[in-house]
Chain A
Amino acid sequence: MKDLQDYSGRFDPHVELQDFSKDALVRLVTAAGKLYMGLDGLWVASMRQKFGDRTAFDYDKEIWRTGTLLELRRVTEAFNIKGNDVAAVFKFLQVDPGFGVWFELEFDLRNGNYGIMTVTRCNPLLMFERNKDRDLQKMVCEEIEVPMFQVVAEYFNPDMKATALKLPPRKGEDDIACQWEFKIEPKV
């Protein structure tokens, strides 16, 4: 097996992902995660121009209802992530292409039934802040992320609740982006 650090050499029609070094693959995974989410941002921008904010936001919500389930199924299968506790959710969130791969996260797993996740750096939020696009920030953080984290929680355990402890806007550049509580609460 080759261990290419980059692809500066001759074109090889038979070269495969496995032929690259781990370092090169890590760079590719990170770029793929960013591009994956970037495409969504561009669709929303085009939709806003053509059909207005409300229609664009409603469609993006609809897409992510399905998209989140696809991510859950495919990523947990690729990583063989099993279990129905909060640890399993955190494992998925760490490697999810649209999330853990390029966001900065802190996890405080108190036990299998309770944990807090803090997003300390969120690139989309930085963009919303830079563009002063409060409408898009509100849609993403409140209309997409709040139900999406609940979908993620319930995928692993129907008794798990995901609750936003803090959402943007931030008070300052040193503030965290958002914070979420995951808790298993058996139905009474």
Chain B
Amino acid sequence: MKELKAYTGDFDPNLRLEDLSKEVLVNLLREYARLGLLLEAQLNSLISQKFGVEAATDINLKARLVVEPIEMKTIKEILGIPGNDVVSMIKTMQWIPDGPLNGDIFQLHYDIKNNNHVIMTVTKCKSMEYYERHGDEKGMKNLCEVLEPPIFNAICQAINPDMKMRPLKLPPRKSKDDICCQWEIKIEPKT
């Protein structure tokens, strides 16, 4: 089996992903994560310019409410992650392409109270930093208050329909040393 560290050599028509070294596969995954978010940002920006932020948010929300559960179920299956509790959910969420997989974009801290109760703190969020840098409070509000809560709940409910995620703290931040946001994730059986 080859272990290509780069693709500087001859073109190989039969090259497979398996021929790449782990290092290259890791870089590739990080780039995929970044490309997905850039594509999303580009779409939001184009639709916002022509139809307004609300229309862009609506389109993005509709698409992501479908794609996020698919992402979660796909990643859970290919990584063989068992269970349907909160810890199973955060194990899965660590590897979704538009999640914390690329530490340059998002950094998260988890406080595991028990398997069904976790506090998740986002300590770095490039998307939020973008809105801070541009002084775009409306854009930030749309992302953090309109888009993320239902998307996070869809992510949770892909693993367990009784799982809920609610924000404990949302932007704007008081300072650059402040956390970006904080969420409580719990299993709350319907009564």
Interface residues on B, range: 35 or more
CB distance from A25 to the nearest CB of B (A): 4
Q: Does A123 contact B (CB under 8 A)?
A: no
- When the two chains form the complex, which single residue of B64, B67, B74 contacts A31, counting CB atoms closer than 8 Å? B74
User: Given the interface contacts A31-B75, A42-B63, does A95 sit within 8 Å of B82 by beta carbon?
Assistant: no
| In the bound complex, CA of A78 to CA of B22 (Å) | 13
A17 contacts across to B, CB distance below 8 A: 25-26, 29-30, 101
Interfacial chain A residues near B11, Cβ < 8 Å: 87-88, 90-91, 107, 109
Expressed in whole angstroms, the Cα–Cα distance for A119 and B24 within the complex equals 25
Most chain A beta-carbon contacts within 10 A, residue among B10, B43, B62, B74:
B43
Rounded to whole angstroms, the CA-CA distance of A118 and B22 in the bound complex is 28
Would you call A79 and B81 a contact (CB within 8 A)? no
* Docked pose: A51 CA to B42 CA in angstroms: 18
With A71-B35, A74-B35 as contacts: A26 and B60 at CB distance below 8 Å: no
> Given that A28-B78, A32-B97, A59-B47 are contacting pairs, would A81 and B7 also be in contact in the complex, using a CB cutoff of 8 Å?
yes
Which residues of A in the span 30-55 have a Cβ within 8 Å of any Cβ on B? Answer: 30-36, 38-40, 42-43, 45-47, 49-51
Stretch at the interface among A3-11, A134-142, A168-176: A3-11
Given A6-B81, A91-B11, A42 and B67 contact (CB-CB distance below 8 Å) = yes
- Which residue of chain B lies nearest to A31 when distances are taken between CB atoms in the complex? B74
**Chain B: minimal CB distance from A143 (Å):** 16
List residues of chain A with CB within 8 A of the CB of B59: 43, 46-47, 50
State whether A29 touches B32 (Cβ < 8 A). Answer: yes
- Shortest beta-carbon distance from B108 to chain A in Å: 8
A94 to B15, Cβ gap below 8 A? Answer: yes
**A185 adjacent to chain B (CB < 8 Å):** no
Of the listed stretches A62-70, A124-132, A147-155, A159-167, name the one at the interface; the rest are far from the partner chain. A62-70
Contact A36 B28 (CB under 8 A): no
A184 to chain B, nearest CB (A): 15
21 contacting pairs across A/B (C-beta < 8 A): A5-B80, A17-B101, A24-B78, A28-B25, A28-B29, A31-B74, A33-B32, A35-B71, A36-B35, A36-B39, A38-B70, A39-B98, A42-B63, A46-B62, A71-B35, A78-B31, A79-B7, A81-B6, A90-B13, A91-B7, A95-B17
